[in-house]
Amino acid sequence: METTTQELAFTPLYNLHKELGAKMVPFAGYSMPVQYPTGVLKEHNHTRTQAGLFDVSHMGQVRLSGPNAAKAMETLVPVDVVDLGLNCQRYAMFTNEQGGILDDLMISNGGDHLFVVVNAACKQQDVAHMRKHLSALCTVEELSDRALLALQGPAAVAVMARLAPSTAKMIFMETGKVTLVGVECFISRSGYTGEDGYEISVPAAQAEELARLLLAQPEVAPIGLGARDSLRLEAGLCLYGHDMDTNTTPVEASLAWALSKARRADGARPGGYPGADIILRQLAEGVARKRVGLLVKDRMPVREGAELVDAAGASVGKVTSGGFGPTVNGPVAMAYVGIDFAKLGTTLNAIVRGKPIAVEVVKTPFTPQRYFRG
């Protein structure tokens, strides 16, 4: 029987991953490293204690330029883009007419343009979404000739200070331009691990040279998708398509903190984005279900898809992300539960292979976030 496999794309670091002995897997249409020979646990712990280098070149990078770019972007997201400071970055989401999340993204103000980073799995639809709705108002340009590297962990600042001293003064969610390996790179002090760190947009042609330079630093080791997932889970960070999707609103996803004051009902520019009426109503009246953190009272990991039941055995929710948290030294999970079961301290059972496993609703992050806020 003939089987056809979808042609996978490669990032500019593909050959380097192979050279480093990475186990490659298909992810969002790309061949990506899931782990290196040291394994996921050591990679996770190395990022928490030193500095890990992640290839995130599969993410989408987009430049919006023109005098109306910020105003235009506000028609698609429930956050304040107009007053976003120069060289500052903000977390945002694209919403649909039902208030559901199409994707989550990062927006930064580069002065004469906005720099937008979107998820790999949603890249094509996000670029099409921006072209459809924003092209009449600003220039939408996909930067497909750039790679993206993330350097994460407590030693990231010492590494970057050695290579580009100005980066040490940056604070969390600040952005700037630096010269690395002889080319201009765009850098932000942010990441997806809960640790301090940086994300660096570099021309694709110089990506491998920059990766080798970073890996040559004694604190830095290469980290794959496996540890990226356990790190972000411990940090209580959502993974698009799992912990949020087109059927969940930002309020249900416990992302109300990201909905800027200026865009709320009593703000300077309320609404004006898809699904605004639903989202504003939920902010005022509450929701029927929401995302919560779960601490598992057993060594057995509770994974995505596990059903949650109350003391009487009635279904009250579903796990959307779960696994072993090496820093927590135990299994952790995130789930959607009915609002009556979302209170901290609530005990429920997760059904794993037909057996009930006790879980408790807890505050996220599971391990303290260590962003550098100055």
In a domain, 101, yes or no: yes
Q: Are residues 43 and 125 in the same domain?
A: yes
Q: Cα(30)–Cα(32) distance, rounded to whole angstroms?
A: 6
Give the residue from 238, 256, 276 where a domain finishes: 238
Distance in angstroms between the alpha carbons of the first and the last residue of the chain: 60
pLDDT, tens only, 206-256: 999 999 999 999 999 999 999 999 999 999 999 999 999 999 999 999 999
pLDDT score for 5:
57
Q: CA angle, 91 as apex, 194 and 208 as ends, to 5°?
A: 65
- Domain membership of residue 81 (yes or no) is yes
- CB contact at 8 A, 278 and 98: yes
The single residue listed with the structure tokens 């599971």 is 366
The answer to whether residues 228 and 325 belong to one domain is no
Say if 267 falls within a structural domain. Answer: no
The 3-state secondary structure of 160-202, one letter per residue: HHHHCHHHHHCCCCEEEEEEECCEEEEEECCCCCCCCEEEEEE
Q: Which of 335, 363, 372 lies closest to 156 in space, CA to CA?
A: 372
Query: What stretches of 57-100 adopt beta strand conformation (E)?
Result: 60-65, 89-95
Instruction: Taking residues 70-94, report their average pLDDT.
Output: 98
Pair 175, 186: CB distance under 8 Å: yes
Residues 13 and 147 placed together within one structural domain of the fold: yes
Q: Count of domains in the chain? A: 2
Output the pLDDT for position 78: 98
Residue where one domain finishes, among candidates 196, 215, 238: 238
Q: Considering the domain boundaries, does residue 216 fall inside one?
A: yes
Measure the CA–CA gap between 360 and 32, rounded to whole angstroms: 34
CB of 348 closer than 8 Å to CB of 256:
no
The answer on pLDDT for 4 being more than 50 is: no
Q: Provide mean pLDDT across the span 334-358.
A: 98
Question: Does 245 map to a domain?
Answer: no
Helical H runs in the chain? 14-19, 40-49, 69-73, 123-134, 156-163, 207-215, 225-234, 276-285
Domain shared by 210 and 345, yes or no: no
Radius of gyration in angstroms for the set of CA atoms belonging to the chain, rounded to a whole number? 21
User: What pTM value is reported for the model?
Assistant: 0.97
Closest to 117 measured CA to CA, from 138, 88, 143: 143
CA-nearest of 86, 177, 95, 85 to 129 is 95
Do you know the residue count of the chain? Answer: 374
> Are residues 19 and 88 both part of a single domain?
yes
pLDDT digits (tens, 9 = 90+) for 265-321: 999 999 999 999 999 999 999 999 999 999 999 999 999 999 999 999 999 999 999
Q: Using CA atoms, how far apart are residues 127 and 130, in angstroms rounded to an integer?
A: 5
Q: Are 299 and 229 found together in one domain?
A: no
**Residue 170 located in a structural domain:** yes
If you average pLDDT over residues 6-13, what whole number do you get? 93
Residue 1 is predicted with a pLDDT of 41
Q: Which domain holds residue 23?
A: 1-238
The reply to whether 24 and 145 lie within a common domain is yes
Instruction: Using CB atoms within 10 Å of the CB of residue 25, give its burial: 0 to 12 exposed, 13 to 18 middle, 19+ buried.
Output: middle
- Residues 144, 211, single domain; the answer is yes
